């Protein structure tokens, strides 16, 4: 399911990771993240969602910690990614204390263990109302390029197979520098188109 084979994507991914994203200043990351946070929590989609999947951000991504805290404050059911080999699962984190206790991976990201018997969004019978998603580059029409491992694309395929009736919202969080022209980000058959891309 990896997208590395597409040469256009490969070039774009390398440029975004090596030049574009590292050039965004810490001040700009903070300002854009704050504006995106305010847009997301003001949205009707966020207000209505009971079960929410959120990524735990690294320094090169839109900061999701304020959103995570808000999700817990509003007592929503929060699911975060955990990775096991080539599979990604979405498992529940109960509250801020639970989040704080999560172990760090070698990439310095907190990640629950898939072996802990946590509630899994694919098997709990409810699924997810809102996915808050990361990526490397996006188009305004809902195109998304991830890190090239295909984790989200393969997870979402399993998700939609499991919950064919459920209309989940796929909302990406993006710095304005990550928005690219349609012609530079060709979508492939396995790529999942986003519902919306939120920028500053």
Residue 106: inside a domain: yes
Per-residue model confidence as pLDDT tens digits over 164-176: 999 999 999 999 9
> Residue 167 maps to which CATH number?
3.40.50.10420
| Domain tally, the chain | 1
Residue 144: inside a domain: no
Residue 146: inside a domain: no
Residue 89: inside a domain: yes
Residue 145: inside a domain: no
Tell me the C-alpha distance between 131 and 93, whole Å.
15
Query: What was the pLDDT predicted at 179?
Result: 97
**Residue 96 parent element (H or E):** helix 96-100
Per DSSP, which regions of the chain are E strands?
A: 51-54, 77-84, 87-93, 130-133, 137-138, 144-145, 169-173, 196-198
Residue 1: inside a domain: no
Residue 31: inside a domain: yes
Residue 139: inside a domain: no
Domain containing residue 102: 7-133+153-198
pLDDT averaged over 10-residue windows placed end to end, the chain, 200 residues: 63 94 97 98 98 94 97 98 91 97 87 88 96 96 91 94 95 98 82 93
Tell me the C-alpha distance between 88 and 150, whole Å.
10
């Amino acid at each position: 399911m990896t997208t590395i084979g597409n040469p256009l994507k490969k070039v774009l991914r390398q440029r975004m990771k090596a030049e574009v994203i590292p050039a965004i200043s810490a001040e700009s990351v903070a300002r854009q993240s704050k504006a995106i946070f305010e847009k997301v929590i003001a949205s009707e989609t966020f207000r209505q969602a009971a079960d929410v999947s959120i990524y735990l951000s690294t320094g090169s991504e839109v900061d999701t910690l304020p959103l995570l805290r808000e999700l817990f404050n509003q007592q929503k059911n929060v699911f975060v990614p955990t990775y096991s080999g080539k599979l990604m699962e979405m498992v529940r984190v109960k509250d801020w204390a639970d989040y704080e206790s999560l172990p760090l991976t070698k990439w310095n990201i907190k990640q629950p263990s898939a072996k802990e018997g946590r509630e899994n969004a694919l098997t709990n019978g409810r699924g997810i109302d809102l996915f808050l998603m990361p990526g490397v580059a996006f188009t305004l029409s809902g195109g998304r390029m991830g890190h090239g491992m295909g984790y989200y694309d393969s997870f979402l395929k399993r998700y939609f197979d499991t919950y064919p009736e459920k209309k989940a919202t796929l909302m990406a969080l993006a710095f304005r520098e990550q928005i690219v022209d349609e012609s530079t980000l060709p979508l492939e058959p396995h790529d999942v188109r986003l519902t919306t891309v939120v920028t500053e």
